[in-house]
Structure 1
Amino acid sequence: MCLGIPGEIVELLPDRPDLATVRVAGVRRAVNVGLLGPAEVGPGDWVLIHVGFAMSKIDEAEAAATLALLDGLGQAYTDELDALTESDIT
């Protein structure tokens, strides 16, 4: 199963405008934000992440609701978080 997981942008990487550090369930990872455009997102924004790419910008309420739903999925969500923890696109 492939999931889109909400994450909060912590910072945009100054030397890589297509990458941002994003916090997802306590894990910080570089995520490609190039699909959204450099002026679309910034620190504090929430994005929906799939396979290392921010696919869309979402609001905090939608992020919280999605995280609650994903938490209820159990192992599928845990597997996605494990994959995210092990990933590195820098």
Structure 2
Amino acid sequence: MCLSIPSQVVEVDEKSCSVTVDTMGVKREVSTHLMTEPLSIDDYVLIHIGFVMDKIDKADAELSLAQYQELVVKLNTEE
């Protein structure tokens, strides 16, 4: 099973078919070779093994990110 955290596109490099994304404060470059539609800065995407798999709705992404953040806070307070 794969758990994908929504990531926000912060840079687009069409020449290398890649984007830089921010995943809860961690930035990394991922491939867009499997995408059929173009991506833009501020789009939200789901990633699997270094490839963008899907573009997702901003409202859904923000809701998921808020829920992940709640989990992180809860786990950090239980220690």
TM-score by length of 2: 0.74
Corresponding residue for 1:7?
7
Corresponding residue for 2:60?
62
Moved over 6 A (4+): none
Q: If you compute each CA radius of gyration, which structure gives the higher value, 1 or 2?
A: 2
TM-score by length of 1: 0.66
Identity of aligned residues (%): 42
Task: Structure 1: give runs of 5+ residues left out of the alignment.
Answer: 75-90
The separation in 2 between residues aligned to 1:5 and 1:58, in whole angstroms, is 11
Task: Structure 2: give runs of 5+ residues left out of the alignment.
Answer: 73-79
CA-based RMSD of the aligned residues comes to 1.9
After TM superposition, the structure 1 = structure 2 runs for residues 39-58 of structure 1, keeping only pairs within 5 Å, are 39-58=37-56
